[in-house]
Amino acid sequence: MKQKQVVTNALLGAAAAVVVMGITTTAATATEPCGDLGECKALIEINATDGDIGFHFLMDGDDLTKSEIKNADGKKIFKADAKKQLREQFMTETFVESAEPLCTEALAIAEGEEDFVTLEEFLERWVDGTYVFTGKGDGGEKLRGETGLSHKIPAAPDELDFDGSVISWESGDELGECADFDELVALVEDDVLPMHPEDVPVAAWEVVFEPDVEDGDPTGSLTFSIRVAGDIAVTEVTVPAEYLADLPDDTPVKIEVGAIGSDDNATFTEEDGFCINEDAGCDD
């Protein structure tokens, strides 16, 4: 899973675009500009429902032939060199997601997986502090920027629901499968976390409405996605009727809501089992 672009599918049409534009939107705070680079960010993303956790980073610059990133300990963790045709056309944006291992041994056993990393182990691996991004331009010039990785992780959204037109949710107080409230209290007391996720301000909510269909089904590309301000008075989003009408009969869908902190860290919650334009009924 990754943080998705703030887009509305082109198939929604002009009327749906008006609905989206009528909602106040915001974005979490990446370092922009980032020294000699246009943008850079490093973040933690948790799927509280599936119980997995990953490290993401992005750097954006003009006409790059090389790009590197060093962690807060000054150790190189990524390097990319443009070769052949890419060297002739150059690189601009580089976005990388780590693998997202499960965050408890119990989940790994249940899923038949061998690898897992606890939240505490993950935070020890990806230390907070300044991450340095460097690149080389087409003329050989060296480019440099830096951004911070924070361990302030917002709590997972809770009580996700869809009533046929409106997606709603509530602020949460834990990280789902990765850590419950009491476990998080202990991590704060042990100085593993700087603050309890319940107390981390939400800069933006990311809401995704996605047909839950098999791979290869073109309906799966008809996704509605939007970010809204973290301080909205009522935590709900109306899904455009024009978009819903375009979905085939008996389309199963899932909803996903992410809490995005001001440091770009994100925690997502998913809920499935919804059926759109029901006729014969969606398969279980």
Beta strand segments in the chain, E: 39-47, 52-70, 76-81, 91-97, 129-137, 142-149, 158-162, 166-170, 202-211, 224-229, 236-238, 251-261, 266-276
Mean pLDDT of 162-168: 97
184-208 mean pLDDT: 98
Tell which CATH architecture fits domain 10-28+152-275.
Sandwich (2.60)
Q: What is the mean pLDDT of residues 101-105?
A: 96
The domain ranges of the chain are: 10-28+152-275, 39-149
For 21, 44, 172, 267, the CA distances from 4, given in Å and listed in that order, are 18, 14, 21, 13
Kindly tell me if the per-residue pLDDT of 6 is higher than 60.
Answer: no
Residue 284 has pLDDT above 50, yes or no: yes
In SS3 terms, 179-200 reads as CCHHHHHHHHHCCCCCCCHHHC
Taking residues 18-34, what's their average pLDDT? 54
- pLDDT band, residue 283 (cuts 50/70/90): confident
Residue 206 confidence (pLDDT)? 98
pLDDT interval class at 32 (50, 70, 90):
confident
Tell me whether the CATH fold assigned to 10-28+152-275 matches the one assigned to 39-149.
yes
Q: Is the pLDDT confidence value at 251 over 70?
A: yes
Residue 152 three-state SS: coil
Q: What is the pLDDT of residue 205?
A: 98
Q: What is the mean pLDDT of the chain?
A: 89
Choose between 251 and 29: higher pLDDT. Answer: 251
Ordered alpha helix ranges (H), 82-229: 84-89, 105-111, 119-125, 181-189
Residue 262 CA, chain-centre distance (Å), reads: 13
Question: Is the pLDDT reported for residue 241 higher than 90?
Answer: yes
* Lowest mean pLDDT, pick from 15-29, 40-54, 127-141, 182-196: 15-29
Residue 21 has pLDDT above 70, yes or no: no
Whole-angstrom distance, CA of residue 147 vs CA of residue 38: 12
User: CA 91, CA 126: separation in Å to the nearest integer?
Assistant: 26
Please tell me the predicted confidence (pLDDT) of residue 22: 35
Residue 13 has pLDDT above 50, yes or no: no
Q: Which band of pLDDT confidence, cut at 50, 70 and 90, is reported for residue 30?
A: confident
Distance (Å, whole) CA 109 – CA 107: 5
User: What tens digit of pLDDT does each residue of 56-80 get?
Assistant: 999 999 999 999 999 999 999 999 9
User: pLDDT at residue 24 above 60?
Assistant: no
CATH class held by domain 39-149:
mainly beta
Q: Residue 5: name the closest of 135, 103, 93, 80 by CA.
A: 93
- Judge contact between 207 and 240, C-beta under 8 A: no
